[in-house]
Chains A and B, each alone.
Chain A
Amino acid sequence: MGERILEVRNLCTSFFTHEGEVKAVNDVSFHIDEQEIVAFVGESGCGKTVTQLSLLQIVPAPPGKITGGEVFFKGRDLLQHKPNSPEMRSVRGAGIAMIFQEPMTSLNPVFTVGHQLTDIIMLHRKVGHKEAWEMGIEALRSVEIPEPEVRMRNYPFELSGGMRQRVMIAMAVYCNPDIIIADEPTTALDVTTQAQVLELLVSLVKQHRKSLIIVTHNLGVVTRYVDRIYVMYAGRIIESGSTEEIMTKPRHPYTIGLLNSVPKIEKERSEKLIPIKGAPPWLIDMDPRCTFLPRCSYACEVCETKEFPKLRRLGESDHFIACHRDIAGSITGSTTGRLDSAGRHDLGGEAHG
């Protein structure tokens, strides 16, 4: 991995509603290196999206407000700048680009794809309209859209969901940012299209030597492509580490619970899923103790009495957990590095890349 490109320390973002302060992002610290792919995993409302919006200072305000922390992007603290300052605007798109979940609403319905693409290219690349148009076609070709010349003159509604998400990817990549943040980039798409779009996004990011942050609720999506994972729960990072560590040896009860809740296609279906009991907590007037306590099946006396545990390193590894206990979790049904005897189709077949 290359140099550290983004370092976030103690980021806090709250929404101020008349019922009280909703601590959507609560003391979150993380970093991403050059050419690294990291994922933020968590359920809806856990703060994973708001964390990313806070980096770019595009949290809707009011009611949202970044209440503290530092965001060092290439060594500069972005939170020193006002949301609408020229510095921030130059970071958005050209420094950190964002791809959203719903490709329909992220494109303006009244302009053609070409119009929007050239606008953005002209803004960031300082080229004339004609060149920008050519670059737009090139951009669409690079995201494997057939007949890019025709597609440039299409309106967003004339494209399918997968196609629109490709256009968004083209826009993001062509701004030549250092980091691309993809917020649930494939959630709105069908399974087969999901696979296409993800493969494309990851290969483009690798080809251009960028860093990528994938925000998702789908643990399956991250397994294949991601170097490191941050697991978020109730506004906090509760576990982080390399994908291999997290997916094979999770240590936080929540992560273990999540992995056990997913039905696994390779497994006997007679087995029951092991769900996490209860529901995520309400983010107003939070219990100072561990946020996962009411749902945790490993909770002990320490958890009942002590405050929310700080994120701590496990041994010498890059594996961090925010848990008083240290449980060696068992996840059901994972293979242990060996290959299953392959089925008739190459599902478990040849090694990949």
Chain B
Amino acid sequence: MVHDAAVAKHNRLSKRHSGLREKCHTFFKRGILTKISSALVIIFILIAIFCPYLTPYTPYEQSLRNKLKPWSKEHWLGTDNLGRDVLTRVLYGARISIVTGVLSSLWAAVVGAALGLTAGYSRGFLGSFLMRLTDAHLSIPPLILVMVLAPIFGRTILGISIVIGISAIPSYVRMVYGQVLSLRENDYVTAASVIGQSNFKILLKHLLPNCIPVVIVMFTSNVSTAITIEANLAYIGIGIRPPTPAWGVMISEGYNYLVSYPHLAIAPGIMLMLLIISLNVVGDGIRDVIDPRLRGKL
């Protein structure tokens, strides 16, 4: 408070040229953890894309003769109870996790933002109806909701993504709704309506672009949550079906051999942990770059 004037001035000065380069600068300035995490996220994405070329096996290839082998030259992480190569399955798991995470968050973001915009701009009956619906939705614990919906939409990658997405929609709706409520008080919105712009165009041209930073920030933090939920579902056996190499499935299967063959559960567990931590750190970084004021809100 003492420094208000000077800080405001500094902000004004530094805001003058805010390009991509400056954004990268702020992002990596956050420290070594951000750098490592960004590297990890990139590695995971590369693994997800190129996993077929990284191993000579497929994740479904069984060989009961080679079951539960320790690590060797042929199988770096050994094999599981059906003789499948653990490393291969772990690598393919990255693909499933990332695809479900991104897909579910993406569709939740699109639907949530659209509903939030509509609710925020129309206010009136439609607005309050949508918001009460959202409140009702939020009162159901996401895991229970997902457990109910999962069988309906099918236990495939697409089905699970839709289900997880549905559980994430309300948080987008609320966030965008709040954003629109504050944005529409801006003078430039009044100005647009005074020059005769239609409500729909105002929504599209003035409100939506200013909501996008918030949606992006939410999206990045949402991907890791979605991955966690996906793994949870797979672990308790209502998510993606075995033999698909989802990490949750592998942890659950490996759990039976935790004492004698701990790597079966630990290898996917570590991967899951690394991916989620690095996604969170990167998400925080992106948030700081896009809108530092959101710190602590998301």
Contact = CB atoms under 8 A, between A and B. Distances in A.
Contact of B4 (A44, A100, A284): A100
30 contacts: A15-B10, A15-B13, A17-B10, A17-B13, A17-B14, A18-B14, A18-B25, A19-B13, A19-B14, A19-B16, A19-B17, A44-B9, A49-B6, A53-B2, A53-B5, A53-B6, A58-B2, A58-B3, A59-B3, A60-B3, A60-B6, A63-B10, A64-B10, A98-B2, A100-B1, A101-B5, A102-B4, A106-B1, A183-B5, A284-B13
Candidate in B4, B5, B22 with the most chain A CB atoms within 10 angstroms: B5
B42 interface: no
B46 interface: no
A284 B2 CA distance: 24
B7 interface: yes
Nearest to A60: B3
Interface in B1-57: 1-7, 9-10, 12-14, 16-17, 22, 25
A18 B2 contact: no
B13 A22 contact: yes
Candidate in B13, B16, B25 with the most chain A CB atoms within 10 angstroms: B13
Interface residues of A, number: 25
Interface in A40-90: 44-45, 49-50, 53, 58-60, 63-64
Nearest to A63: B10
A283 B12 CA distance: 12
B1 A24 contact: no
Given A17-B14, A106-B1, 14 more contacts: A15-B9, A15-B13, A17-B10, A17-B13, A18-B14, A19-B16, A22-B13, A24-B6, A59-B6, A60-B10, A64-B6, A64-B10, A100-B1, A102-B4
Contacts of B9: 15, 24, 44-45, 50
A19 B18 CA distance: 10
Nearest to B26: A18
B182 to A, nearest CB: 19
A63 B16 CA distance: 16
B22 A18 contact: yes
A105 interface: yes
Interface of A: 15, 17-19, 22, 24, 44-45, 49-50, 53, 58-60, 63-64, 98, 100-102, 105-106, 183, 283-284
Contacts of A17: 10, 13-14
Contacts of B2: 53, 58, 98, 100
A98 to B, nearest CB: 8
A284 B17 CA distance: 13
B13 A53 contact: no
Candidate in B2, B3, B6, B14 with the most chain A CB atoms within 10 angstroms: B6
Contacts of A283: 13
A105 B4 CA distance: 9
Contacts of B3: 53, 58-60
B1 to A, nearest CB: 5
B129 to A, nearest CB: 34
Contacts of A53: 2-3, 5-6
B7 A60 contact: yes
A63 B12 CA distance: 13
A45 B7 CA distance: 11
Given A18-B22, A106-B1, A50 B6 contact: yes
Contacts of B16: 19
Interface string B109-133: 0000000000000000000000000
A138 B3 CA distance: 30
Nearest to B1: A105
Contacts of A58: 2-3
Nearest to B8: A44
B19 to A, nearest CB: 11
A172 to B, nearest CB: 13
